[in-house]
Amino acid sequence: MTMRWVRIMLLTMTTGMAAHGSVTKASFGTMPDGTAVDVYTLKSDAIEARITTYGARLVSLQTADKNGKMDNVVLGYDSVKGYLDDPGPHFGAIVGRYGNRLAKGTFPLEGKTYHVPINNGPNSLHGGTAGFDKKVWKGREVAEGVELTLVSPDGDMGYPGTLTVHVRYSLHHNALRIDYSASTDKATVANLTNHAYFNLGGQSNPTILNEEIMIPADKYTPVDAGLIPTGELAPVEGTPMDFRKSTVIGKRIHDNFEQLKIAGGYDQNWVLRGATGETKTAARVYDPTSGRVLTVTTTEPGVQFYTGNFLDGSFKGAGGWPFVKNAGLCLETQHFPDSPNHPSFPTTELKPGVTKHSVTTFTFSTQAK
């Protein structure tokens, strides 16, 4: 074999390794009852993501700025202890069984009314007092990523049916893809999403108010004083909710507009164009200082844009990052909040023999200006 062919083979092997990346597992601490918690580090040729079995959550995500400098662009902690001490923001977690809010913790299903724990004013939020974000999932390495599995028994947090959930994180060059799969043995409701807080400026950027966002949606679901949808699909035209053109997040966040006053910023669901199950753009975020761009695509019908209004600086994350108000933004791809109580909304019912699938992808790039 000639030296030329050796070089070609080595180059091919190196390119293949870079394309496929690597997955490693390490300890992330223990739960108060002694249950071990792991963290998986996923690396591609462009980005690095860390996923923990506690809450199946995204712990950190390293990506390059316009100058090639890597930095973490999601809020999180160095160990499971941080998440136990500061559970309220749901940093990076898979939330469920029903992500977002259910009015008064009740919903009808097949002629019966179900009651789930109230943990957000008079309502239920993200599955209740012990939702999926507070469970230790089972992890296993898969091609280019990790798959987390959770079995939620019949009656868990008041929800009917034994629900089996698989969430797969995988890296594909400059993209983090999340595949969701859920099945049940009894009729139930399910609405799964990821609750990562992004700050494209990294740890040197105190808030996301300087970043620009585009959400290709003509309507949104207005909320009442308890942040529960009224049932209306309201046009964004002529309001601070109009992000059909890229707009600086802080430009209108303090406008004299009822929806902004209710939420203390943005915390509403936007109705995405296109059919449920069809891949569509949910949002595009640009940070002019770092040049980082995040493009979110999803098969879900909606996206909850949340500007970290309830963060108050009480906690500091990895590297001493202060989590002040507006330190990060969430783009929770989902079915609409409180859908079981609004028959006109896309259904979140799941029946035996049917597997619910959805896909959301976070793709990173840069632009000079």
Q: Quick check: bond before 97 cis, omega within 30?
A: yes
**Residue numbers annotated as active site:** 195, 332
SS (HEC) of the chain: CCHHHHHHHHHHHHHHHHHHCEEEEEEEEECCCCCEEEEEEEECCCCEEEEECECCEEEEEEEECCCCCEEECECCCCCHHHHHHCCCCCCCCEECCECCEEHHHEEEECCEEEECCCCECCEEECCCCCCHHHCECEEEEECCEEEEEEEECCCHHHCCCCEEEEEEEEEECCEEEEEEEEEECCCEECECEECCCECCCHHHCCCCCCCEEECCCCEEECECCCCCECCCCEECCCCCCCCCCCEEHHHCCCCCCHHHHHHCCCEEEEECCCCCCCCEEEEEEECCCCCEEEEEEECCCEEEEECCCCCCCCCECHHHCECCCCCCEEEEEECCCCHHHCCCCCCCEECCCCCEEEEEEEEEEECCC
d(CA 74, CA 345): 31
Largest CA distance in the chain: 75
CB of 146 within 8 A of CB of 57? Answer: no
d(CA 171, CA 41): 11
Among 97, 118, 101, 99, CA closest to 160: 97
d(CA 83, CA 55): 9
